[in-house]
Structure 1
Amino acid sequence: MWCVAWSGRPSVAERAALIIGPDGMARCGWADGSDDYRAYHDSEWGVPVRGERALYERITLEAFQSGLAWITILRKRPAFRAAFADFDAEVVASYGPDDVERLMQDAGIVRNRRKIDAAITNAQAVLRLRESGGLDEFVWSHAPAAHQRPGTLAEVPAQTPESVALAKALKKAGFAHVGPTTMYAAMQACGLVDDHFVGCFRGTS
């Protein structure tokens, strides 16, 4: 993540805030790490994500990324989608011990029992949220009213008051592996904040 909060991007502490790619476009420096990072930066990162399934997927992947390079999650994403029923919360919520053992044998994903258990726990919490507006409304209600794009590495926070509040609210709702730093990474990835550096062609604000 960005140092910690930038969702597993390459070691940006040693990178420039912006890089100019072969196409002449200015991008966030972390996007220079590989073609996978560049494609993710250009097409997904920071684009608003709406809908229960899409948000459940991002929250799950951010939790699995904790302690790992984001490139690992990107490259395993198709396997994660297959393993977790394309992140259909109703299906995942019904997973039992046999499913956990199956997932622990799946070399295509990150085989961490606590994170697998959290994905199932969180699917069950997602279903409960349907009674009070759903995951989409719940997550987006924590988007900041205003946000200033960073101009330097030092301006990128590891967490914010909004991510602390979101993490606290999710935990109260029964979610696991949703700390404030992980949730800020999710907020960046899902477009609740625009943390493309000033000058990056993908910035929207």
Structure 2
Amino acid sequence: MPKLSSAKQYLAKKRCGWVSDDPLYIEYHDTEWGRPQYDDQKLFEMLCLEGAQAGLSWITVLKKREHYRQVFDNFEPNKIAQYDDKKREQLLNDAGIIRNKLKVNAFIVNAQRYLEITKAQSFKDYVWQFVGGKPIMNYWKSLKEVPVTTPESDAMAKQLKKDGFKFVGSTICYAYMQATGMVDDHVQECFLNQ
């Protein structure tokens, strides 16, 4: 019986309004979203996945994330940057990912751009520069107050585009900042903001 009680307590916790009752979504919210990420390869993975989300809900991508990791070599930029036409075709025929040619190509282009950037600096330093190297801690009362873009995400999008990255508009960049903890947007009533 204690397991049922703890499960009820787990589900009863107040969370940000965008979280559904899907266990995968709850786990993502509770353990990843808004937590600072400094690992270059994880930061690259999240940039790709946020781009894949464009026009879709995050839960759609989240449910496919493990398969993405399998077919995209665990988001190893050195491998992705060398994908050829045969590999692209294979990916576009894989029902386990979002089969959008522009998005698949963006992963490859972004891997190539990543490799260029990391010749001079870590990817962590490159993306975290837009928030001054430390998380922006917000304390919104409600989900309605949370912006979809900010001057920081505008600056990030502008620089990423200038450096040749794809699927990196300001809205995607802000979602990326939230996902990787550059911005903490857990609302006041969320148990993670208590």
Asked if Structure 1 and Structure 2 have the same fold, meaning a TM-score greater than 0.5 normalized by the shorter chain, the answer is: yes
Q: 2:117 aligns with which of 105, 114, 129?
A: 129
For 1:103-114, what aligned pairs fall within 5 Å after superposition? 103-114=91-102
The count of aligned residue pairs is 184
Tell me, yes or no, if structure 1 residue 71 matches structure 2 residue 59.
Answer: yes
The one-character-per-residue Cα deviations of 1:29-80 (angstroms, maximum 9, x if unpaired) are 2223422211111111111111221011000000111111211111111110
Please identify runs of 4+ aligned residues in structure 1 that moved more than 3 A. Answer: 144-147
The match for 2:107 is 119
For 1:38-187, what aligned pairs fall within 5 Å after superposition? 38-143=26-131, 146-187=136-177
Contact 1:194 1:203 survives alignment (8 Å): no
- For 2:91, give the aligned amino acid: L
Instruction: Compute the RMSD of aligned alpha carbons.
Output: 1.6
The match for 1:3 is none
Contact 2:41 2:76 survives alignment (8 Å): yes
The one-character-per-residue Cα deviations of 1:75-120 (angstroms, maximum 9, x if unpaired) are 1111100111000000000011111101001111110000000000
- Identical amino acids, percent of aligned pairs: 42
Rounded to whole Å, the distance in 1 between the matches of 2:139 and 2:45 is 25
Rounded to whole Å, the distance in 2 between the matches of 1:43 and 1:105 is 32
Larger-gyration structure (1/2)? 2
Structure 1 residue 25 displacement after superposition: 2.2
Contact 1:126 1:134 survives alignment (8 Å): no
Contact 2:19 2:25 survives alignment (8 Å): yes
SS of structure 1 residue aligned to 2:127 = helix
What 5-or-longer segments of structure 2 have no aligned partner? 1-6
TM-score normalised by length of structure 1? 0.85
Rounded to whole Å, the distance in 2 between the matches of 1:26 and 1:76 is 26
The one-character-per-residue Cα deviations of 1:127-177 (angstroms, maximum 9, x if unpaired) are 001122121111011116754221123311010000000011111111011
More deviation, 139-148/43-52: 139-148
- For 2:31, give the aligned amino acid: S
- For 1:166, give the aligned amino acid: M
Contact 1:92 1:120 survives alignment (8 Å): yes
